[in-house]
Every structure is written in structure tokens, then in C-alpha cells.
Amino acid sequence: MGSTPPQSHRLYRALEFLGTHSRILGMMTASTTSPRDLPQTGPSVNQQVAPAAMSGSSANGGTWRIETGCTLVIDRGRPEEEVVRVKAVGPPADPAWFVADFLKPHGANFTITPNTISERVPGRINLNTIWDEETFLALCDRNASNTFADGAVYTAFRRLLASRTKGNVPGPNDRPFRSFASGLSPSGYSTGWLQDTLLRFDDPNSPNRQPLFAVPSQSHHPYQTFELLTKIANNVTVRSNVFAVWITVGFFEVTDDTTRPVKLGAEVGRAEGRQVRHRMFAIVDRSVLTGYPGPQPGFDPRAPMPAMTTGRVVPHFSVID
């Protein structure tokens, strides 16, 4: 038993599904109203409702949309509150209404609250995309109220890189951080699934193993040992919604199109100094891509898009040359 790694009960997986209200509570709410009432006193089948808006955005930039299959809370917080499922929406050219079954009557301007809002939690740092020491230092924010020293932060950053990216260069042996709810690990991973998460051990084979971000202290008090981990745990994530994309397009001669990939020769015009390369930079936000109507001439990010109520949701797009 002494040489066998302890088997985890995997209780840590619950951390992915349990929690308290977000730090941005109140900024992720969304709702609309219906000017027309629903005065019926019995179950109403296939009732058509034309709300003031079929889509929109929350205060923190998250988007919502009433779509077929989604659930809506009607008159939330009132005695006539009920939950309905959308059975259909208006035609694609003008989706200004939805159809659902209602069990209760509702007065004019009753509220309609969508249950699903795009996931946008600002301020969290993706552990899998930290490459600069300065970013990690800002995340830890070591100050006089902390018992750990600056040296512990530098050491934790080196441990992070060594544990996540072998040799500090992305490759097939990388072990990125995964969510607490990650499933079975691929074959070849040792010591179980805990090693995939924020709670992974610095050295899983050591008899005195400690979490990667544990800080040894003279008192050995658990609060001081796990102070750094406790401080950053609620400010980190393992997934991102926003990505920066750089693209360079060049033109090359094809010397053999019978192979895959095709074999390329010299760049067109390179010998004469006439080669043309197109460069583009974009910021892609996958949480709001459903609200992107296409290129907008004279786009102003401060103003809502034409015929839309989602506000600032168009990803930044810039052609450099």
C-alpha cells in the first residue's frame, strides 16, 4: 500500500458544480416585457407572445436570445410566476414573437426572463494562457496583508510552467489545466484525475507532496500554506471566450497538386520583390458570435447595431494591409 498512489474519492469534482453568487451579481440579469396581457384563466396552448425584445445584452456584455427550445421565467417573483418552454419563434426575417404554453394569466407588461445568458465573467485569468511572469504577479497581487513573500510567487510561476508545459515550449507532452469536472484521464497519466486540475501536486511521487501553489511556511499552518492558492482560486479559469487572432496570407506556386498537402514552390513575385502578403488582426469573442450580423460599414462599437438590441457585441476586426 505504501508504494501505491492513493486513490482519490474525486470529491473535488463537486467544486465545478457548487458555488455562491458571482462577484458580478446583478450584472448578468436580463429580461424583457410583453405589452399585451394574457387574461385567460385556464391552460393556454400555443399562445403567441410579442415581447418588446427577442434578444439583448446584460450589463457585463453577456448576450441572450429567445430561441426555440429555451426556457423563460414569466413574472419572476410574483404570485403568477411560471416557467415556459419556447415551442416556436417568428419567421427568420422578423423573429418578433414566440409561442409557448401558459398555465396562468398575466397582466400587461408582464416580465419575461431568459434562463440562459452567454458566459462572460470578467477578470479571470486563464492558467493555460499565462506565459509572462508579470501576468502571474498581477494575479497573485502580493502585498503587506499576505504572509507569503515575493519569492514564493516567482517559485509558483516556475512550477506552473514546468507542470503545464514541458520545456516551456508547447508540445504533445503538455498537461494543461482542466476543470474540476473533467472526466477520465487519457492513458499514461499517473496519480489520477486530480493532477489535471488547479489542485494538482507539484511532485505527485513525493511522500510529502503539496498542491502546486502551496507555500511552505515556518508555522506549517494550513491557512498560510494554502494562502496563495486560496487567493487566486476564484480569479482563475481554464477556458477563454476571447481570443486574439493574427493572420498572414501569402501566395505560392503549387508544384505538385497530387499530394496532400500539396507541395509548394517559390512565393509568387518574390524573386522580383513584388510579393504581396495580406495581414489581419481580429479579436474573436465566441460568447457573442451568434449576434454578429456581418461586416458593418462605419461601425461604432459604442452604438447598437442596426436592427439589433445586443449593443457592443461585434468582434473587433482590422485589416492591417
Whole-number pLDDT of residue 300: 58
Q: List Cα–Cα distances, 46 to 38, 76, 140, in angstroms.
A: 12, 21, 54
b or e along 16-37 (b: 16 or more beta carbons within 10 Å of the residue's beta carbon)?
Answer: eeeeeeeeeeeebebbbebeee
Whole-number pLDDT of residue 202: 80
Q: How far apart are CA 5 and CA 8, in angstroms?
A: 9
Whole-number pLDDT of residue 288: 60
Instruction: Confirm whether 160 is domain-assigned.
Output: yes
User: Consecutive 10-residue runs of the chain (321 residues): their mean pLDDT?
Assistant: 56 79 72 89 84 84 84 93 93 82 92 82 87 94 92 93 89 88 59 78 76 80 90 90 88 93 92 90 71 54 48 48 47
Instruction: Confirm whether 163 is domain-assigned.
Output: yes
Number of domains the chain contains = 1
Cβ atoms < 10 Å from Cβ of 118 = 23
Instruction: Confirm whether 90 is domain-assigned.
Output: no
Q: HEC profile for the chain?
A: CCCCCCCCCCHHHHHHCCCCCCCCCCCCCCCEEECCCECCCCCEEEEEECCCCCEEECCCCCEEECCCCCEEEECCCCCCCEEEECCEECCCCCCCCEEEEECCCECCCEEEEECCCCCCCCCCEEHHHCCCHHHHHHHHCCCCCCCCCHHHHHHHHHHHHHHHCHHHCCCCCCCCCCCCCCCCCCCCCCCCHHHHCCCCECCCCCCCCCECCCCCCCCCCHHHHCHHHHHHHCCEECCCCEEEEEEEECCEEEEECCCCCCEEEEECCCCCCCCCCEEEEEEEECCCHHHCCCCCCCCCCCCCCCCCCCCCCCCCEEECC
Q: How far apart are CA 134 and CA 115, in angstroms?
A: 38
Residues in contact with 65: Cβ distance below 8 Å, sequence separation at least 6, in sequence order: 54, 55, 114, 290, 291
Closest CA to 311 of 96, 57, 126: 57
Instruction: Confirm whether 17 is domain-assigned.
Output: no
Whole-number pLDDT of residue 17: 80
Instruction: Confirm whether 188 is domain-assigned.
Output: yes
Indicate yes or no: pTM above 0.95. no
Instruction: Confirm whether 26 is domain-assigned.
Output: no
Q: List Cα–Cα distances, 15 to 11, 199, 223, in angstroms.
A: 8, 11, 19
Whole-number pLDDT of residue 308: 45
Whole-number pLDDT of residue 165: 92
Instruction: Confirm whether 97 is domain-assigned.
Output: no
CA atoms within 13 A on the CB side of 14: 4
Structural domain that includes position 202: 123-237
Residues in contact with 285: Cβ distance below 8 Å, sequence separation at least 6, in sequence order: 241, 242, 313, 315
Instruction: Confirm whether 168 is domain-assigned.
Output: yes
